[in-house]
Amino acid sequence: MKTKALLTATIIGLSALLVWLSAFWEPITPKRVTEVPTHNRLAASGQAQGGDFTLQGPNGPVSLKDFRGKVVLLYFGYTFCPDVCPTSLSLMARALSALTPAEVERVQGIFVSVDPERDTVKILKAYAPFFHPRIVGITGTPEQVATVARLYGASYAKQPPNAEGLYTVDHSSVTYVIDTEGKVNARLPHASPVRQIVEAVRPLLAAKTGG
């Protein structure tokens, strides 16, 4: 009789655990930051207006502030990404190649990895400049990366791993065009053609900078 009571208690306990698990437990912390509504010109107000940040680069910290006086092309992605990120970075690279040497001196590409668990600074050092020497790969702790993504309205969400434990990351694929004073000027949607990137950059280079 005692065993039966014990068994019942165990079953109840396990059921409760199961209910709790299915309701609250998440195998992977969701990194979804904010849903990106649309990727067009910057809204007049509201969040996700961009701003300064510092993350780790190949030779130590990299801050957006370091590039005052330059136009910055900012992209959030991850190196495991087989298609979307290489496409975006290739387009960015081709846009950089389309600029004159004097122009390209004043443009900086930044690739922020939203997968800091796998993308070490060392991996990013090999990855980003492969597309173009003026693209730097940076990342930070998951919290730091989340803060920067939130600042820009970039979203990403790690997907459940496959049988081999490999996972992909859903992410917004937007190239943020940041002017010489560190303000977001345009958000270019995924696969924006080279010409469009160049046309977004050139006027900002021509504009007088306030220092």
Partner 1 sequence: MKILFRHLAILLAAAASLPAFAGDTDITIADPYVRMVPPGTPTTGAFMVLKNGSNADRKLVKADSPVARSVELHNHINDNGVMKMRQVAEVDIKAKGETALKPGSYHVMLIDLRQTLKEGDSVPMTLTFDDGSTRKIDVPVKMPQAMMQMDGDHGKMKH
Binding residues vs partner 1 (CB under 8 A):
35-39, 79-84, 86-87, 89-91, 93-94, 97, 123, 126-127, 130-131, 155, 162, 164, 166, 168, 170-174, 189-191, 193-195
Residue 45 or 162: the one with the smaller Cβ distance to partner 1 is 162
Q: Which of 177, 135, 174, 171 is nearest to 156 (CA)?
A: 171
Residue 172 or 185: the one with the smaller Cβ distance to partner 1 is 172
Residue 54 or 157: the one with the smaller Cβ distance to partner 1 is 157
Residue 127 or 180: the one with the smaller Cβ distance to partner 1 is 127
Kindly report the number of other CB atoms within 10 A of residue 42's CB atom: 16
Kindly report the number of other CB atoms within 10 A of residue 195's CB atom: 11
Residue 56 or 79: the one with the smaller Cβ distance to partner 1 is 79
Backbone angles phi, psi at 24, to 5 degrees: -115, -30
User: In angstroms, what is the minimal distance from the CB of 87 to partner 1?
Assistant: 5
User: In angstroms, what is the minimal distance from the CB of 103 to partner 1?
Assistant: 18
User: In angstroms, what is the minimal distance from the CB of 86 to partner 1?
Assistant: 5
Backbone angle region of 136, left / alpha / beta, with phi > 0 → left and psi within -120 to 50 → alpha: beta
Residue 89 or 180: the one with the smaller Cβ distance to partner 1 is 89
User: In angstroms, what is the minimal distance from the CB of 12 to partner 1?
Assistant: 39
Q: Which long-range contacts (CB under 8 A, 24 or more apart) does 100-108 make?
A: 103/201, 103/202, 103/205, 104/134, 106/69, 106/70, 106/71, 106/180, 106/205, 107/70, 107/71, 107/72, 107/73, 107/134, 107/201, 107/205, 108/67, 108/70, 108/71, 108/72, 108/73, 108/134, 108/136
User: In angstroms, what is the minimal distance from the CB of 178 to partner 1?
Assistant: 18
User: In angstroms, what is the minimal distance from the CB of 173 to partner 1?
Assistant: 5
